[in-house]
Chain A
């Protein structure tokens, strides 16, 4: 069984543009829906707050790993036991983490972005189960809400 997530997406924008959208903390915040306290610095912890409606109680806390200009941006982030408001841990720094990597490749039409998230094998089993116990059957509906929201609120362009 696979312990990682991999996504490949073609973007009709130059590598330099995509790099900026990924690594400028304000631009990252725009599409990821997070308000970050400051710029990303390799080796340092990036902090902020999720601005996604309904998830504003979630903190953003990630340790930036690599910033190889226009090639690779990576960070590790925690997977807390629960993202429910009631059970959300006050301190996420001790939670187990996964590694998120964005790799960029130039193509004829723009940029190929390869996203991987790995290390799910290191998460305790309760992490994988608990997140769903309280939401049994509720996620499908939640996903629909998100889809509707995105459809109704196209992301504002230009930095």
Chain B
């Protein structure tokens, strides 16, 4: 990773950390929203029409789901003329996964110590 991208990443992560309490898990706990995130993961911003394509849901329903994801910081809206487009913001999910990985690693270490402790007799 280059120095430049690294510092850019740090900046955006700092910005993300200032967000209000974002209910990331709740936002992702929904099939429709997960599928929207999957579509947006490809990287390019999509319009609401594009995101509604192939879905049984109405444009309004899709918009509502996108706003939930936006509140959680998982997607960002970008305005282009009169059109609103949505794009994926990986920071909250990456940060959350990193934290879980860290806590998980701590438990692996602690349980390994517990194992030697109880098996050493």
Q: Mark A108-128, 1 if CB is under 8 A from B, else 0.
A: 000001010100110111111
The smallest beta-carbon distance between A81 and chain B, in angstroms, is: 9
**Residues of B contacting A124 in the complex (Cβ-Cβ under 8 angstroms):** 21-22
Q: Does B113 lie within 8 Å of A155, measured CB to CB? A: yes
Selected contact of B119 from candidates A1, A11, A22, CB within 8 Å: A11
Q: Does B90 touch A at the CB level, under 8 Å?
A: no
Contacts of A127 in B (CB 8 A): 99
A129 near B91 with CB under 8 A, answer yes
Find B17's partner among A2, A27, A129 (CB 8 Å cutoff): A129
Cα A117 to Cα B73 in complex, Å, equals 25
Main secondary structure of the interface of B (DSSP, over half): helix
- Asked whether, in the complex, the Cβ of B113 is within 8 Å of the Cβ of A31, the reply is yes
- Chain A residues bordering chain B, tally (CB within 8 A): 44
Interface size on B, residues (CB 8 A): 45
Partner pick for A125 among B92, B102, B103, CB 8 A cutoff: B92
* Docked-complex contact A5 and B95, CB < 8 angstroms: no
Check B109 against A13 for contact (C-beta < 8 Å). Answer: no
Per-residue CB contact flags for chain B residues 92-115 toward chain A (1 = under 8 Å, else 0) read 110111111011110111111111
**B121 x A157 contact (CB < 8 A):** yes
Is there a chain A Cβ closer than 8 Å to B43's Cβ?
no
Q: Which residues of A contact B44 (CB under 8 A)?
A: none
Contacts of B6 in A (CB 8 A): 136
Task: Report yes or no: B120 in contact with A131, Cβ–Cβ below 8 A.
Answer: no
Q: Which residues of A contact B17 (CB under 8 A)?
A: 125-126, 129-130, 133
Q: Which residues of chain B come closer than 8 Å to A146, judged between CB atoms?
A: 109
Please indicate the chain B residues that have their CB under 8 angstroms from the CB of A7 in the complex.
104, 107-108, 111
**Those of A25-40 within 8 Å (CB) of chain B:** 27, 30-33
* Cα distance A150–B26 in the bound complex, in angstroms: 38
A17 touches B121 (CB 8 A): yes
Q: Does A45 contact B (CB under 8 A)?
A: no
**7 A-B pairs closest in CB distance:** A157-B120, A121-B25, A129-B95, A125-B22, A128-B99, A124-B21, A13-B118
Q: 18 A–B contact pairs at CB < 8 A?
A: A1-B97, A3-B25, A7-B104, A7-B108, A9-B111, A31-B110, A113-B111, A120-B103, A125-B16, A125-B73, A125-B96, A127-B99, A129-B92, A132-B95, A133-B10, A133-B17, A143-B105, A157-B121
16 further interface pairs, Cβ-Cβ under 8 Å (given A1-B93, A27-B117) = A1-B97, A3-B25, A9-B111, A11-B115, A30-B117, A115-B111, A121-B24, A121-B26, A124-B21, A125-B96, A126-B17, A126-B19, A128-B98, A129-B92, A131-B102, A146-B109
